[in-house]
Each structure stands twice: as structure tokens, then as C-alpha cells.
Amino acid sequence: MLIASKYEVPDSCPEDCLGKNDGVGQGGFCHRCPVFNCSGSPMDKEEQEMLYPPDHVYDPNLRFSILEPEEYRPDWAAEWVKFFKDGTFPKLYLERSK
């Protein structure tokens, strides 16, 4: 998957990912990961019926993602590339308000 219009990361969680045993809270490791935020999960028929107008035709390929891959922060994307390549823990800094 291409994130931040420049960085290539896996489309799904690697089997040996450090985050697999992490808690599911919002501050957890996985909740910053582009795989979790951008790859999307399939939407079943009921989910599509709730989110789309009545004339919507069910599409089994439709996915829901929290963030579009091209909108992922470039500085974080670079950190995740290192993580997926060699296991370097990502340093993800929050942006300061302007």
C-alpha cells in the first residue's frame, strides 16, 4: 500500500508484528499504524445499508478506512517504513498547534 503518496508499506499486518500482542486501547501501538488506519476493512451488506442511500447497490469490494492512504502523515510514514523493513520502533511525534 502506498501511503503519504510516497511510502510503501504492507497491505496487512505482518505475522511477526510487535503490535499483535498490544492492547486495543486508542493509545495502543496498532492505532497509529497505517495498516490499521488506511488499509480498510470489508463492509458487509448491513453496514453499507446504514451508510449509503437506499438506492445504493451492495458492493462486496467496498472497504471502510479511517484515513485515506495519501492523507497519512509523511513524517510518520517514513518511520513506519523503517519499522516494517528492519523492526526499528517508530518515533511518532505529535504536531504542535499553530
pLDDT in tens, 30-84: 888 998 889 887 888 998 899 889 999 999 888 888 899 999 999 999 999 999 9
**Which letter does DSSP use for residue 52 in this model?**
S
Please state, as a whole number, how many other Cβ atoms lie within 10 Å of the Cβ of residue 97. Answer: 4
Q: Does a structural domain hold residue 19? A: no
How many independent structural domains does the chain possess? 1
Q: Does a structural domain hold residue 62? A: yes
Give the range of the structural domain holding residue 30, as residue numbers without chain letter: 2-12+26-86
Residue 66 is predicted with a pLDDT of 87
Residue 17 is predicted with a pLDDT of 82
Whether the per-residue pLDDT at 90 is higher than 90: the answer is yes
**% helix, strand, coil for the chain, step of 5:** 35, 10, 55
Residue 92 is predicted with a pLDDT of 92
pLDDT level of residue 5 (50, 70, 90 thresholds) = very high
Q: Does a structural domain hold residue 6? A: yes
Q: Does a structural domain hold residue 92? A: no
Q: Does a structural domain hold residue 97? A: no
Whether the per-residue pLDDT at 25 is higher than 70: the answer is no
Q: Does a structural domain hold residue 33? A: yes
Distance (Å, whole) CA 88 – CA 98: 30
Q: Does a structural domain hold residue 91? A: no
Confirm if 47 and 40 have CB atoms less than 8 A apart.
no
Distance (Å, whole) CA 74 – CA 90: 13
Residue 41 dihedral angles phi and psi, to the nearest 5°: -125, 150
Q: Does a structural domain hold residue 42? A: yes
